[in-house]
Amino acid sequence: MRRHKEVAALIKTAQAERRCVFGSTSAQRQALARRVHAKELHRAAPNMYADVLYWQSLDPPERTLHLARAMHVRHDSWRFGGITAAAAHGFEHQWSLHDGTVTVLTATKGTVMGEKRQVKLLRSPSRRCVTANGIPVTDGARTVVDCGLLLGFRDVLPIMDSALAKGVTVDDVLAACSGTRRDYTPIFQLLRYANPLSENGGESLARATMIEQRFMIPQIQVAFTDPDTGKSYRVDFVWRLADGRIVVGEFDGTQKYVDPGMANRRSIQGVVLAEREREAALRRAGVTAIVRFTFDDVVQCNPLCNKLLGAGVPCMG
């Protein structure tokens, strides 16, 4: 395709600024659209584009942020909240929460001009913002509260756990709840169960699922010492049952079996052997049963519940 130096420069600048490229003139917009037809650019939103391979390399939160950064360049008065702000703060959450839209704050019930299909409006009692990942967003506590009122418990507990781990305090969250007449019961429930020790969003989602399904709430990130070797092994979940049995839950990410970085460059066989040695050490340390579950087990819910019930984890449901 014939080179268009001006558009090429726009694309290069946008990518350097980690945002989508857009056309400010009719000629630029037409040139960008032609590159979509030539399969050089991906159309992320009306008049918002990115190099095809570059866009494919981005995870869903970063795609949302690329859209938000471009929108902020076009509308410098816009401020962002909700899941967009959660992504900007780097709070753990499910990627499925990103649907191609960006959450923009508003003080009224009005609408925004421009990218209407790509914008979700969020009425917020405060437009006090901080800059995170290059865009003005609600602060950490306000972000958690807004997400807690917009989304379900399972979706928000990972955000709450992560926010607390990153320095947001319970007092910050409670302060963000003051001053408006809203039902903050969902936020109080999240604070009751939140735990900053959770290592990642998958573990938080698993714990949220256990809580919703009324299983005995586990301890998390507990260390066991092998009496034979003295080595310490930390596990994701522990249930100490009334009959003296100890059940351990391990959240399995299959990535460690296929990613050389996760496996510390060991072979798959070496990783599997290390897991077997780990299980043997845990049993010597008094663990009765080990339950392994995957992210898919958690998302589908029933597979996780069946595994926990099979191991004898008490359930009130």
Query: Which residues on neighbouring strands pair with residue 293, listed in sequence order?
Result: 251
* Residue of 100, 105, 62, 60 whose CA lies nearest to 80: 105
Structurally, the chain folds into a number of domains equal to 3
Give the pair of three-digit tokens for residue 148.
């807690």
316 residue type, one letter: M
189 and 208 belong to one structural domain: no
My answer on whether 211 and 237 are in the same domain is yes
Q: How many CB atoms lie within 10 A of CB 253?
A: 14
Q: For 218, how many CA atoms within 13 A lie in the half-sphere containing its CB?
A: 28
Would residue 64 count as lying in a domain? no
Last residue of a domain, one of 165, 196, 227: 196
Q: Are 155 and 146 in contact (CB under 8 A)?
A: no
Do residues 49 and 75 share a domain?
A: no
Strands (E), the chain: 41-45, 48-51, 102-106, 119-123, 129-132, 135-138, 219-225, 232-240, 246-252, 289-294
The dihedral of CA 229, 232, 238, 242: what is its sign?
positive
Contacts of 221 (CB under 8 A, 6+ apart): 197, 198, 199, 234, 235, 236
What was the pLDDT predicted at 133? Answer: 97
Residue 217: domain span: 204-310
In a domain, 275, yes or no: yes
Report yes or no on 135 lying in a domain. yes
pLDDT at 34: 94
- CA atoms of 314 and 317, how far apart (whole Å): 9
CA 217 distance to own-chain centroid: 22
Closest C-alpha to 187, from 215, 150, 219: 150
Beta partners for residue 49, in sequence order: 21, 43
- Predicted pLDDT of residue 179: 74
My answer on whether 296 and 179 are in the same domain is no
Helix, strand, coil proportions of the chain in percent (round to 5)? 45, 20, 35
**Predicted local confidence at residue 174, as pLDDT:** 96
Per-block mean pLDDT, blocks of 10 residues, the chain (317 long): 77 97 94 94 95 97 98 94 98 95 77 66 81 97 96 97 98 90 94 96 97 98 96 97 97 53 53 84 97 95 98 92
CA–CA gap between residue 33 and residue 103 (Å, rounded): 25
pLDDT at residue number 255: 45
Q: Are residues 209 and 228 in the same domain?
A: yes
Provide the angle, in degrees to the nearest 10, between the axes of the packed helices 153-165 and 185-193.
60
* Same structural domain, 117 and 163: yes
Does 239 share its domain with 221? yes
Domain endpoint, select from 196, 224, 259: 196
What CATH number has the domain bearing residue 234?
Answer: 3.40.1350
Q: Are residues 78 and 157 in the same domain?
A: yes
For CA atoms 135, 88, 13, 105, the dihedral sign is negative
Residue 185's φ and ψ, nearest 5 degrees, are -55, -45
- Are 106 and 144 members of one domain? yes
How far is 84 from 68, CA to CA, in rounded Å?
8
Separation CA 85–CA 87 (nearest Å):
5
17 within domain boundaries: yes
Same domain, 146 and 164: yes
The answer to whether position 315 is within a domain reads no
